[in-house]
Amino acid sequence: MDLLPYIIGSAFFLVALLYASVGHAGATGYLAVMAIAGIQPSVMKPTALTLNIVVASIATYKYYRNDAISLRLLIPLILVSIPCAYIGGRINLPPHYYKPMVGLFLLFAAYNAFFSANQSANYRVNVAKLPVLYVVGASLGFLSGLTGVGGGVFLSPLMLAMRWAPIRTISGTAAGFILVNSISGLAGLLSSTPQTMDGMSWWILAVILGGYLGAEFGSHRFSPSTIQKLLAGTLLIAGIKLISSIL
């Protein structure tokens, strides 16, 4: 009996649990697990996007139920990110160009998020202007397509740095952003007949459970400072993953 799919599924459960607690879906974590397990690249991207859609759907629902999604921010972002993510997903760039830069950005964002966690819960929210949201949505949607992730690891630290919403609302808005970008990215892959593995059904079940538990605690049980520290840890993992993948 091949235990590898079940071992991978257990790791996916932990990834979904951590990422969903901060409104993310876990694509960078799934990719890291599959890379360690030696799974073929042709399988990794469609698998990560499929699992992303499952977890992001749960997180979006949970955060929306707890009034932790800003539609004023989300709608302009996704209007332009959806086509840009689709276009970006159809472009294959050498990973050694963008992965170090993105990885360093995420490490810096993790550092900033962790050390400002105790002071950020009650900061004054700044109103984001519509043209800025369009530019951000288009840019991050395209970048999401290029990297094969949902974009939350880019959007969350940006919204936090700009103080566009309270911490919990940042997580909820990022979840919605990830959901639509993952669907768009997967749509772009369908034309190339993506491959999957036999353990896919088990993996989906694992991330459903992990995503539900993580979103349940992140959407209304964790304090804003706890969410921000978890976000810092998530960004740290993603940053290390992106940088180490080119070594």
pLDDT per 10-residue tile (average), the chain, 247 residues: 80 88 82 77 79 92 90 95 84 66 71 64 82 94 76 84 88 92 81 64 92 83 72 77 68
The pLDDT value recorded for residue 55 is: 92
The pTM score is 0.81
CB atoms within 10 A of CB 19: 36
> Could you tell me which residues come within 8 angstroms of residue 121 by beta carbon, excluding any fewer than 6 positions away?
167, 223, 224, 225
Let me know the angle formed at the C-alpha of 140 by 135 and 143, rounded to the nearest 5 degrees.
Answer: 130
**Residue 130 DSSP SS3:** helix
3-state secondary structure of 19: helix
Total structural domains in the chain?
1
Host domain of residue 132: 4-244
On whether the CB atoms of residues 154 and 94 are closer than 8 A, the answer is no
State how far the alpha carbon of 211 is from the alpha carbons of 166, 183, 216, 246, in Å: 22, 17, 8, 29
Fill in the DSSP letter of residue 244.
H
